[in-house]
Amino acid sequence: MQRRELIIVLGGAAIAWPLASRAQQTMRVIGLLSGTALEPVAHLMDAFHRGLKETGFVEGQNVVIEYRSADGDYGRLPALAADLVHRRVSVIVAFGPPSALATKAATTTIPFVFTSGGDVVKSGLVISLNRPGGNATGVNLFTQAVEAKKLGLISNLLPTPAMIAFLVNASNPAAEGKTKEMQDAALGLGRELLVLHASSESDIDIAFATLAKLHVGALVVGSDPYYDNTQRAQFIGLAARYLIPTIYGQREYVTDGGLISYGTSLADAYRQAGIYAGRILKGEKPAELPVVQPTRFELVINLKTAKAIGVEFPPSLLALADEVIE
């Protein structure tokens, strides 16, 4: 190669390198924080990506996603949130109350989108549902309020004296509020309520053994990302083994063999989180994006499971079901 040609080639490369660097710098970065592993909830992540795509963002094309998961150990979330803040991501998406509160504590400047089932105003995530203020907005699933409804539904399957248990993850910041709601609801129904805590696989095993030993009539499983995303199969298997009528907060439990569920759609919540993340990347402020509230709750019943554990649903309850699996 002639010297003049070499200079031209090198000069062209010198121009191309900064252009490539600038192209990489313009790629927006989303930090995604989850209290649980993401592999078991691939369908929910698909919904999140659909929401992003609706606003014009596709991972690997014009947006990069930094994934952080605590794998069920909520104590790791503050450090994971701090890492995303240190990386100066454009927006953080926090799935579940523990992730949302860890993000809130980690930054007051980086915008973030949450999904949460607790009281998002009382917990300090937002100032109000319509005008969130600050750097956060998202989807409120109202699972705390739904717990009491779940108690009422499962009560229809039992004679009045029977004890009902409530299983809650004590490491979830919303646990105390959920427990108070359930205790008040049980008092109103004239039911004796046993509250059990479980934050690990072994805890859940012990809790079910306790339920069987005490001859508890039914169980309400508190909504929790670790329960719903990671330990769903364990709950279904133990409920079948011990023949305990159990109600859950997500329909996936029932389609996988659980007895009954009542709650809103997690897939819809994840999709909305994707939409809000995209809108924020386009310049909208979270303070001006109202917290999304569910408008539809599903009651799903599995009659095959009911027959297997010896439960008969009253016609009045079957008539209320949005879906009956036979």
Determine what percent of the chain is predicted with pLDDT higher than 90: 79
Question: What's the pLDDT at 305?
Answer: 97
Exposure string for 17-43, b = 16+ CB within 10 A, e = fewer? eeeeeeeeeeebbbbbbbbbebeebee
Place of tokens 């900064």: 18
Residue of 140, 110, 148, 111 whose CA lies nearest to 123: 140
pTM of the full structure: 0.83
User: Residue 224: pLDDT above 70?
Assistant: yes
**Cβ–Cβ under 8 Å, residues 143 and 263:** yes
pLDDT one-digit tens code per residue, 44-99: 999 999 999 999 999 999 999 999 999 999 999 999 999 999 999 999 999 999 99
**Cβ–Cβ under 8 Å, residues 219 and 247:** yes
Beta-bridge mates of residue 302: 325
Q: Helix (H, G, I), strand (E, B), or coil: what is residue 125?
A: coil
Neighbours of 319 (CB within 10 A): 9
Stretch 230-242: mean pLDDT? 97
Question: What's the pLDDT at 12?
Answer: 42
Residue 149 vs residue 14, higher pLDDT: 149
Place of tokens 């009542």: 262
Give the least confident one: 10-14, 36-40, 180-184, 219-223: 10-14
The tokens describing 198, both together, are 């479980």
Band of the pLDDT at 40, cuts 50, 70, 90?
A: confident
pLDDT one-digit tens code per residue, 149-199: 999 999 999 887 789 999 999 999 888 888 999 999 999 999 999 999 999
pLDDT one-digit tens code per residue, 116-127: 987 899 999 999
Reported residue count of the chain is 326
Beta-bridge mates of residue 323: 300
One-letter amino acid for residue 266 of the chain: L
Distances (CA, A) of 218 to 62, 205, 248, 259: 49, 16, 11, 11
Give the least confident one: 4-8, 101-105, 225-229: 4-8
The rounded distance, in Å, linking the Cα atoms of 66 and 32 is: 6
Q: Helix (H, G, I), strand (E, B), or coil: what is residue 98?
A: helix
Determine what percent of the chain is predicted with pLDDT higher than 70: 92
Question: What's the pLDDT at 4?
Answer: 41
The rounded distance, in Å, linking the Cα atoms of 31 and 17 is: 27
Q: Do domains 3-142+266-288 and 144-263+297-325 have the same CATH topology?
A: yes
Distance in Å from the first CA to the final CA of the chain: 77
Question: What's the pLDDT at 295?
Answer: 82
Task: Give the start-to-end residue ranges of the domains of the chain.
Answer: 3-142+266-288, 144-263+297-325
CATH class of the domain whose range is 3-142+266-288: alpha beta
Q: In CATH, what number does 144-263+297-325 get?
A: 3.40.50.2300
Beta strands of the chain (E only): which ranges? 28-34, 63-69, 91-95, 112-116, 136-140, 164-168, 193-197, 218-221, 246-248, 260-263, 298-302, 323-325
Place of tokens 């008092």: 187
Residue of 25, 28, 29, 30 whose CA lies nearest to 92: 30
User: Residue 277: pLDDT above 70?
Assistant: yes
The rounded distance, in Å, linking the Cα atoms of 260 and 120 is: 27
Stretch 214-222: mean pLDDT? 96
User: Residue 25: pLDDT above 60?
Assistant: no
Question: What's the pLDDT at 294?
Answer: 86
DSSP 163-188: -EEEEE-TTSTTHHHHHHHHHHHHHH
The rounded distance, in Å, linking the Cα atoms of 251 and 245 is: 15
The rounded distance, in Å, linking the Cα atoms of 154 and 63 is: 45
